[in-house]
Every structure is written in C-alpha cells, then in structure tokens.
Structure 1
Amino acid sequence: MGLFTKSKTALVLGGGGARGFCHIGVLDVLEEHNLIPDFIVGTSMGSIIGSLYAIYRDVEKVKDVVREFISDPELKDIEMTFKKDIEEEENTFGKIKDGIKGVKNFLATSRLGLDKVSFFEKDLLKEKFEKDFGDKSFEKLKIKFYSVTTRLDTSVLVAFSRGSLFKPVIASASIPAIFKPVEIDGGLYVDGGVISNLATDIAYLAGADNIISISASSSRCKKSFRNGYELLEYTMYLRAKEMERYKENFSDCLIEPKTNAFNWFDFSHIEQIINLGREEANLRLPEIKAAFKGRDNRSKSRKVFYKTFRSNIEFK
C-alpha cells in the first residue's frame, strides 16, 4: 500500500446454513454506522447474504428477500424432515452399536434423500433467487463481491468475481446432498464450505489490507450424542472447524455471533439469529471500527500464514 493509497477493507461472510442469518444483523449495525467494506467475500449462506447486500446496499431489502425465500413450503420441508429424522433415529443410533453398517443403512433409507444426488429433485435455489440474481453481473454490483465455491472435478476452491452473478452464488450455497451441483462452463460446483467455510485467505489474495470476518458456524464441544446423525455431523464439523481456526488468523477482527443453540436447518428462527448478529456486532463495535481504520493490522502475519498453509485457489 502506497503512502497516499486508501487501504482496502474486506468483509468475509462464512457459511453455516440458517446460522448465517446472523450476517444480516452484523450488516445492519455496520450500515447504521456507515461502515461499508470495499469488497465482500461470501461462502454458502454468506454468499447469498453478501451478494444481496452487494446488489442493493440496503439491509432491509436483504431481509425482505431472505424472508420470502424461507417462507417457501419446500424449504420448510428441510427443517421438518431433519428434525423428524433425528428424533426417529435416536433408538437406532443411541448406542452407535452397528457402526459403519448402521450409518450406511441410515443414509440409504432416511427421508433425508441421501440415497439420491440431492434432497430436492428440482433446482430450488435457482427458482427462488432468479428474480434477484438472474440479470445481474459482478461488474454492476454496488460493492465488489467474491462468491466462493468448490469445483468438484478438480477439488479446487474457486472464487468468482466476473461475469454473471447467478450461477456462482447458487453454486456457493449448494450444500451437497441437499441441493444439486451447479454446472458452470463445463465444471461442476458446490458449496464453497466443503473446502473453506471462512475464506479469509481469498480476501487477502484479492488485496485486502484490513479483514473483518464473521463466523456463522457453531463453536461446540460434545461429549455425548443422541443418535448417529449427530455423531456423523459432529465429525464433519470438527474437520471444518480446524480449517476455520487457521483461516481466522487472517482476520483483523473476527466476529462470532452466539448461534450455538441453532442447527444449520433452523430457518424458522431467522429473527432470533439476525438479532444475535446485531448483538455481537454492537458488542464488538469499537474493534470493528478500529479494523476499518487499519489499526492492529495483521498484514505481515498474514503473509507468513499464507506461505505456510497455502490453499489451492483459483479466481474467475
């Protein structure tokens, strides 16, 4: 950064399913205090929320769009199905006595649809967000935006920031086994959180001097499990959380709303989760303001972290 060059501030929004609604609450507080990032990096739900804010630069409009989305009866099926299956599988997996065989049978017979490519046969995300994303391009957004995806056929983390906005955002939010993979220029893409749930390194590579990140994943330590699904989910969570801990080192300010009480599929709790984001942002406001001004900047340590733990990343 030159002597008279304005520093660039990036806002990184992580994945977390319904817990990602906390991003809206944080953005609400930032907007109230006129703290607008130079660019946004979003993964999964963070990509949906971040891209909507980049389109409208109006938190109230973002709330309206997301509320309309979660009111869809088919999306509510996810919440009801997961909750019901967890309850019904408690007896089967309470003691985890059948091991691998039990897990295989659970995945094959459960109403969760894991015997198919995706829970939804049709492209629900495309249908619901086409009105907002369909004719938009990255170049015409009010705030520069990067949508973080996972390319299945190359196992590479891909950050989109050029061309049509629609497919890259839908791909970033396409949770494997729930939504279908998205085809873009011959490649198959899914949720960026498969590889990187908090893409702070992408913000660094994109030229951010100051990085503020919001982690929407829960921070939990479990010692007991009600059923096999909880055990399976927790083992996947541990791997993702370990990677996220490394990514947190890129942040000048890490915001972690207290979303532990909610599951990724708790879409009906949107208002409570938004409020958790507001509460945490207000609590951390002095640190957030300092990060926007470049105080306590971690630019030197970021270089070390990136050289040590370099990810396989592609920009498009």
Structure 2
Amino acid sequence: MSTSNGTATPGTSTPPLDKPQRPLRVALALGGGAARGFAHIGVIKALEARNIQVDLVAGTSAGSVVGALYASGMNGFALNKLALTMDEASISDWAMPFRTRGLLQGIALQNYLNTTLNNRPIEKMVKPLGVVATDLKTGQPILFQRGNTGVAVRASCSVPSIFEPVKIGGHEYVDGGLVSPVPASFARKMGADFVIAVDISQRPESGLTASSFDVLMQTFTIMGQTIKAYELDKYADVVIRPNLAAMSGSDFSQRNAAILAGEEAVAKIMPELQRKLTASRAAV
C-alpha cells in the first residue's frame, strides 16, 4: 500500500516474518526384559551412528538401567564397553532366607548404578530421564523424574519375588513392567514429539520356560501383552524389536549377541524411521 506521494506506509509492505521452527523433541522409550536389555545398547549405538539425536529418555526395568546410563552422557560405545566388562555378581545380593520378600535385595544394583554415575540424581542428567515403577499397594504407575537414580532404577527393576519391593517416601514400589512394559506414554508426558520405542520382550508363543525365572518372565509377558499393544499403538511413532528369540532374560552370557541384535534391528527399520522423522519435523 502506498501514500499519495508514492512513498510506502511504514510496515505495510514488509512481509510477516516466519516463526522460527521448533526443534522436534525425540524420545527413546526403553522397555523391560532383564538380561535382554543389553539390546538397548545396540539400538543406541546404531542410532548414534546414523546421527539420530535423542533428546529425552524413559525406561522401564532393564530399560531404566540402560536409560539412566545413557541419559548421564554415556555414548553407545561407552555403554558397550561397560556392558562387556560388567561382573554379574556386582549387581547381585542374595537376601537372607525366610526373612524377606524377594531372593535379591537389589541394593547391589542400586549401589552399582550410583557409583557408575557418581551419585548423580535423576534431575541432573544430561538428557531428561524418566524411570517407571509400580506402586505395590495401588497398582498405579509412577514416573520418577527427581531423586536418587539408583533407588528409582532399583524400584523399576524389582521383579516381584525376585527382588524385594523398594520403599520410597512411604510407598513401596515394584517393577514398572507390570503397568508399562515399554514406556511410550510416559515419554509423551515428558514432552516428546516423536517416540522411538524399543520392545525387547518375547512373544508368548516363543517364550522360554526352562527355569523358574523364565516362567516368571513369561508370566510378565502374557500379562503385559494388552497393555503394551495399546501403549505402543497409541504413543509410539516407531517400534524397534530386536530379534532375541533365542535369549533368556536370565542369560547374561549372551550380552554381546543382544547388543548386535539391537544394532541389526535399527538397520532394518531405518528407512521407516527416517521417513517418519522427516514428516514429523515438517509438521512441527
């Protein structure tokens, strides 16, 4: 628009400035599965190798262990080295028989993690971290985003009858896998725009039942099928499923094979992941 003398009216001919594009917040939702959780490390390594930036992490059970270490600033190669040198005995502490409610206390796992993380609390992580556990009395899920990292992860990993329940703030907590086997919904609650979920559970029909621990894990798998299917369908943008059919949740000797399975699963799904990430970034 011009005035009568041919000069422009201030501001009227200036095109509106484009609003700066907000970065897409990408989350990694790491599911439970005991020793099968080593596959999460392979997933992280493969994502890093392809320059996929993860902004926040939510973890359940074994996923909370790897998630806490990753959120602290460790990269995939550091996690790989830590996994292959970890002594299984360093995270096992047998409880006194007939005087407890679990075979393992879980304090060894708590101490191992806090020592490795230099006692860094959840809220001081490099990446925002959420740890999912289950309130033993109410059955409700809880998302820990502050406080002692080792204690929260211990609660998230406390498989009933294997680990003793963990008391935090007057409540007792057990394994988060009971209510959120793969915490995609909690990643959304933490502010994620795009959720990459990693499901390391077995299909019930291929589950191993050779030991009492395997039977317990198979029970978890059966119980969690409906919850997991709903959560992944509604909240996950991409689901990575490493091929761990031959691996028991109690077999720490196959940790390297699990890591490789995680890497292979990312390579397989990468075209879909890249396509969906591109579309989501354009929509932000």
Residue by residue, what CA displacement relative to the aligned partner does 1:17-53 show, whole Å, maximum 9, x if unpaired? 1111111001001111221211111001100001101
CA gap 1:139/1:231 in 2 versus in 1, 3 angstroms: closer
CA gap 1:264/1:236 in 2 versus in 1, 3 angstroms: same
CA gap 1:233/1:181 in 2 versus in 1, 3 angstroms: closer
Q: Is 1:131 aligned to residue 115 of structure 2?
A: yes
Residue by residue, what CA displacement relative to the aligned partner does 1:250-303 show, whole Å, maximum 9, x if unpaired? 21111101111111101111000110011111111122223433449999xxxx
Q: For residues 1-316 of structure 1, what are the structure 2 equivalents within 5 Å?
A: 4-72=21-89, 75=92, 116-121=100-105, 123-133=107-117, 135-221=119-205, 234-249=218-233, 250-295=235-280
Q: Which has the higher contact order (CA 8 A, sep 6+)?
A: 1
Residues 160 and 168 in structure 1, CA contact (< 8 A), matched pair in contact too: yes
Residues 252 and 296 in structure 1, CA contact (< 8 A), matched pair in contact too: no
Shift of 1:130: 2.8
User: What TM-score does the superposition give when structure 1 sets the normalisation length?
Assistant: 0.74
CA gap 1:293/1:270 in 2 versus in 1, 3 angstroms: same
Q: Distance in 1 between matches of 2:236 and 2:220?
A: 24
Worse-matched range after superposition: 169-178 or 20-29:
169-178
RMSD: 3.1
Residues 291 and 297 in structure 1, CA contact (< 8 A), matched pair in contact too: no
Residues 149 and 190 in structure 1, CA contact (< 8 A), matched pair in contact too: yes
Shift of 1:217: 0.2
Residue by residue, what CA displacement relative to the aligned partner does 1:159-202 show, whole Å, maximum 9, x if unpaired? 11123322112211222222222221221112111211111111
CA gap 1:37/1:225 in 2 versus in 1, 3 angstroms: closer
SS at match of 2:131: strand
Q: Distance in 2 between matches of 1:175 and 1:223?
A: 17
Which one-letter code corresponds to 2:69 in the other structure?
L
CA gap 1:287/1:119 in 2 versus in 1, 3 angstroms: same
CA gap 1:176/1:70 in 2 versus in 1, 3 angstroms: farther
Residues 137 and 163 in structure 1, CA contact (< 8 A), matched pair in contact too: yes
Q: Distance in 1 between matches of 2:41 and 2:31?
A: 12
SS at match of 1:293: helix
Segments of 5+ residues of structure 1 without an aligned counterpart are 79-112, 300-316
User: What TM-score does the superposition give when structure 2 sets the normalisation length?
Assistant: 0.81
CA gap 1:222/1:298 in 2 versus in 1, 3 angstroms: farther
Residues 122 and 145 in structure 2, CA contact (< 8 A), matched pair in contact too: yes
CA gap 1:120/1:268 in 2 versus in 1, 3 angstroms: same
CA gap 1:298/1:197 in 2 versus in 1, 3 angstroms: farther
Which one-letter code corresponds to 1:152 in the other structure?
L
Segments of 5+ residues of structure 2 without an aligned counterpart are 1-18
Shift of 1:221: 1.6
SS at match of 1:221: helix
Structure (1 or 2) with the larger CA radius of gyration: 2
SS at match of 1:159: strand
Residues 172 and 192 in structure 1, CA contact (< 8 A), matched pair in contact too: yes
Shift of 1:127: 3.2
Give % identity: 29
